[in-house]
Every structure is written in structure tokens, then in C-alpha cells.
Chains A and B, each alone.
Chain A
Amino acid sequence: MVEYHLTTPVTETDARKLKVGDVVYVTGKHVYTARDEAHERALKMFEKGEKPPVDFEGSVVYHVGPVAWQKNGKWVIVSAGPTTSGRMELFEDEFLRKYKARIIVGKGGMGPKTLGALKEVGAVYCSYTGGCGALAAKGLKEVTAYEWQDLGMPEALWVITAEEFGPLLVTMDSHGNSIHADMDKLIASRKAEVYAKIGITQ
């Protein structure tokens, strides 16, 4: 396990250095929130040849629907823990190929399609502890833009400057490793033992 402190935009070389089990802290202006609807919109814009309001290359894309409010006319992130990344499996591989984000952050992990794209593009998926919205907000220092507001607060594209945002645990890397896939195998191997505790023998 290695601890990295990376500055955005993150290069492909940096992303490829990361391995599952590593811990990353991110600083920089290129942290963008995106959930289902933002992914869908970004992909549609690409097809139409339109440009999204931010350049996703080298960015950190965070699966989150934050709580935010306006203080003295400025948007401030109040609480922003990760949402379930599994929902974005529908879009993430295409999104990575088209936009080349380097670090995807969320919870619960993603599937084989995303794992394949991480390898192809040179990017990683990091897990942030679910529910830790207050802690995450500490590292999300400044909102520089609030785009796609028509999608509503949770689904909008928030453009954030981060300072030591983390700890982000690399759970899927660009070398085909996935802690989530390993966990699936581990649980399958323990099933008989679990069943035995409730009196079921297979």
C-alpha cells in the first residue's frame, strides 16, 4: 500500500502508477460531481459534437449528490459522501473512453465494463467511505461553478476545487485488479460457512 498526494489534472502516467490498496489524496480545481443524469447528458453532448462546460480529461469524477447552500452569494458544499456507483455502470465505460477522466470516486465499486475501460484508458476507481458526507465536505474547499442546475441539486454538475480530498482507497486499477470482484469471490467461498450457522447444509 502506497499513499499518493496527487494534483489535478491527473496524467495517464500517474493514474497507471496506482494499484488496488493504494490511498490517494487529491488537490486541485478539476473535481466534478456526476451521477446518472450528468453522465447521460455528457454522453449525449459528445454524440452531438457539443462541448460540456468542463474538460473532463485528467479530472476526478465524483459520484455524489451533495447537500449545498448559498452563503453570501457563494455556493458551499455542506455534506457530500459518495452515492452507489453501480448505477453508473451503464455509462462509465463510454464516458471514460470519450472523456478520459483519470479518477472515478464512489462507493460499492463498479463492474467488468468499467474495469475494462479503466485498463484501456488508464484510470482508476476509488472508494470513499459511504455516508461520510461531513468528512468529505472538509476536502471540497470551493465551488467554482454549478452547472446543469436544471437537473436538480443532487444530479447537477458541481465544479469543485479540492484540497487533500481523501482518503480515497483505490479499489479498481488500470491493471485489471478489482477488490470488489475479489470480494465477490471471497463471499462465494464463505457461503457454506454462513449457511451452516443457520442450519443449512448444502
Chain B
Amino acid sequence: MQDPYQVIHDTTYRLLTKAATELPTDVKEALKAAAEREKNETAKTQLSAILTNIEIAETGIPMCQDTGIMIFYVKVGDKFPYIGEIKNALTRATEKATAEVPLRPNAVNPIVGGNSGNNTGVKIPWINWEIVEGSSLEVTAFPKGGGSENVCIVGMLKPGVGLKGVKKLVVDNVMSYMGAACAPNIIGVGIGGGSDIAIKIAKQQLLRPLNDKHPEPEVAKIEQELIEAINTSGIGAMGLGGDTTVLGVKVDYAMRHPASLPVGVAVQCWAARHSTAVISKDLKVTYVTHPLEGK
């Protein structure tokens, strides 16, 4: 039988490699469609550079030099037998990917300064743990770049401003950072819960497929309104003007406290890198976003 640690480690290494070098198909398709629709000449050149860059990267080169800070989403089945191996395997795979892909060392100590040199350190990689029913393990590698992270916000609104106030926060944010987050962007919005819950929900939305609509029509309508409003702004690719400022807006919510209306807004650059795999209890690996060649 295979070594469970080794399987989780090797799978994670492939996830990190694929995330850095190949965009998920839905993002690639959305960028191509945006390039075809675009009427603004400057935006056309920007989108065409992005598409060329994606092609070059697929030969195994990180598409962006900012290969992100390492974040994982882990859904572990309550009957998955190797829970104790996960954290170590993810950390060691991060170190290996840093040296071999290579990835840029992006883990800096905020107190005493200094870069750890291998993308690991205090609480990094950050692992979002979720216990689910079942016997398998799902790992998503989600390296997040600094430029788009710098324009994520949490607004603690007065409940009286209602959903109009929520939408205003989202569009005002885009109109203030303009192209700084390497537009076209994907925007995740989390409403309710608390300050931490709202931004956590917002960030999780960035992992939804781009063609996915929220199952509740009221929420799906907000998503659509926000896409149209933001694309009316004319900010365009890289903030140099154009028709497509966002590829998608994804919204979700939690119940809120009567006195609070927290809103998290998570911003993703066009290099929406993430890669997911499922490992069964007998250590069979299925790659979800980046299937193995020939499958």
C-alpha cells in the first residue's frame, strides 16, 4: 500500500504547480470571450497580452511572478483515515513547489521582518479546515496574489442602508481601486455573519465556477446587477479603459445580528489560480480542475 503522507504530499505538489502555471478552464474561456467582445483598443492589447502570457505559462512557467501567499481549503471527511498527515504534507509540498516550480518566496515576518525563503512560516500555509461527512479528502490550493488582496475590504454597515448600501460598497470599492488589482477581476461578496465571517464567505466565492449562479434567485439577481454596474464603469482591463472590468461577481450570505450588516468584499485578479483534487480513503487521487493528461 502507498504511504498516505506521500500521496497527500505529491498530490498537493501537483496542485501547487498547476495552480501557478495553468488557469482553470472556465477562467481561461471567460478571458477569451472578454477579448473577443472588447471594443476598446487599449483593452484589446491588454487582454491579448494576458492570453499570450497564459499560453507561455502553460509550458510550466508561473503565469505571474507574484505566485501568492499559500492558502488551502481542505474538506476532510469524518471517516478519512489520515487526518494527522494533512498539515505536514501540505507544508512540505509548499516548500518543494517553492524550490522546484519555482514560486516566489512570499512569506515575510510582520514583526521582526525577514522572508522565510520557502513560503512557509508562522500560520502559513494557512489551512481553512472543514469537516464533512464521508471518507475522502478534498484539497484546494489557492495561492493569492498581493495586488488583489490589498483591495479586499470589510464594511460594517448600518442595517438601515439595506441591500442598496451593500451594492454601493462593492461598486465604490471597484471605482476606488480601479485597475490596481489587475482587472478583469472576479469579486466575491459575503453578507452577514460577522466581520470575519463576511470576508471568509466572500473569499470562498472566488472558488465558484464562473458560470455558476447562486441557487436563490434574489441572490443571483444581486450578482447580475453588480456585474452590469461594474462593467458600466469603463475601468476595463488593467484600469486603462474598456468593456470588461469583472468576469464575475459571486455573492453568498449568513444570517446577521439585528444591529449589524457586515459585508466582505474579496477581489481576485485575472490570474484566478486555484486547483483542486480529491483523495479517497484508499488513496486514489482525482484531479478536479486540472485533470491528468489523457483523462
* Residue A111 at the chain B interface, CB threshold 8 Å: no
Q: Would you give the 0/1 interface string for B231-267, flagging 1 where the beta carbon is closer than 8 Å to chain A?
A: 0111101111100000000000000000000000000
The answer to whether B104 and A65 touch across the interface, beta carbons within 8 angstroms, is: yes
* Residue A58 at the chain B interface, CB threshold 8 Å: no
The answer to whether B56 and A135 touch across the interface, beta carbons within 8 angstroms, is: yes
Q: How far is the CA of A17 from the CA of B50 in the complex (A)?
A: 28
The answer to whether B164 and A199 touch across the interface, beta carbons within 8 angstroms, is: yes
Residue from the list A65, A152, A195, A199 in contact with B65, Cβ < 8 A: A65
Q: How far is the CA of A191 from the CA of B235 in the complex (A)?
A: 11
The answer to whether B52 and A135 touch across the interface, beta carbons within 8 angstroms, is: yes
Question: Across the interface, which residues of A come within 8 angstroms of B49, CB to CB?
Answer: 129, 132, 135, 167
Number of residues from B at the complex interface, CB < 8 A:
51
Residue from the list B46, B102, B115 in contact with A78, Cβ < 8 A: B102
Size range of the chain A interface in the assembly: 35 or more
* Residue A138 at the chain B interface, CB threshold 8 Å: yes
B71-79, B152-160, B171-179, B186-194 - interface stretch: B171-179
* Residue B63 at the chain A interface, CB threshold 8 Å: yes
Q: A134-B57, A186-B234 are in contact. Are A67 and B65 (CB under 8 A)?
A: yes
Q: How far is the CA of A84 from the CA of B177 in the complex (A)?
A: 11
The answer to whether B238 and A107 touch across the interface, beta carbons within 8 angstroms, is: yes
The answer to whether B171 and A86 touch across the interface, beta carbons within 8 angstroms, is: no
The answer to whether A81 and B229 touch across the interface, beta carbons within 8 angstroms, is: no
Q: A78-B102, A133-B62, A152-B105 are in contact. Are A198 and B229 (CB under 8 A)?
A: yes
The answer to whether A137 and B147 touch across the interface, beta carbons within 8 angstroms, is: no
Q: How far is the CA of A81 from the CA of B270 in the complex (A)?
A: 13
The answer to whether A187 and B179 touch across the interface, beta carbons within 8 angstroms, is: no
The answer to whether A200 and B168 touch across the interface, beta carbons within 8 angstroms, is: yes
Question: Across the interface, which residues of A come within 8 angstroms of B8, CB to CB?
Answer: none
Q: A154-B104, A198-B167 are in contact. Are A81 and B64 (CB under 8 A)?
A: yes
The answer to whether A132 and B102 touch across the interface, beta carbons within 8 angstroms, is: no
The answer to whether A195 and B171 touch across the interface, beta carbons within 8 angstroms, is: yes
Q: How far is the CA of A134 from the CA of B273 in the complex (A)?
A: 15
Q: Would you give the 0/1 interface string for A69-110, flagging 1 where the beta carbon is closer than 8 Å to chain B?
A: 100000000111101101000000000000000000001110
30 residue pairs A–B, Cβ–Cβ below 8 Å: A79-B65, A79-B67, A79-B104, A83-B147, A107-B238, A129-B45, A129-B46, A131-B53, A131-B66, A131-B270, A132-B53, A132-B64, A133-B61, A133-B62, A133-B65, A134-B56, A137-B61, A152-B115, A153-B104, A153-B105, A154-B104, A154-B115, A167-B45, A169-B42, A186-B241, A187-B175, A195-B229, A198-B171, A198-B226, A200-B164
Chain B positions near chain A (C-beta within 8 angstroms): 42, 45-46, 49-50, 52-53, 56-57, 61-67, 102-106, 115, 145, 147, 150, 164, 167-168, 171, 175, 178-180, 182, 225-226, 228-230, 232-235, 237-241, 269-271
Q: A67-B62, A194-B175, A195-B168 are in contact. List 16 more A-B contacts (CB 8 A).
A: A83-B66, A107-B238, A129-B50, A130-B147, A131-B50, A131-B66, A131-B271, A132-B53, A133-B62, A134-B64, A138-B56, A169-B45, A179-B240, A183-B239, A187-B233, A198-B167
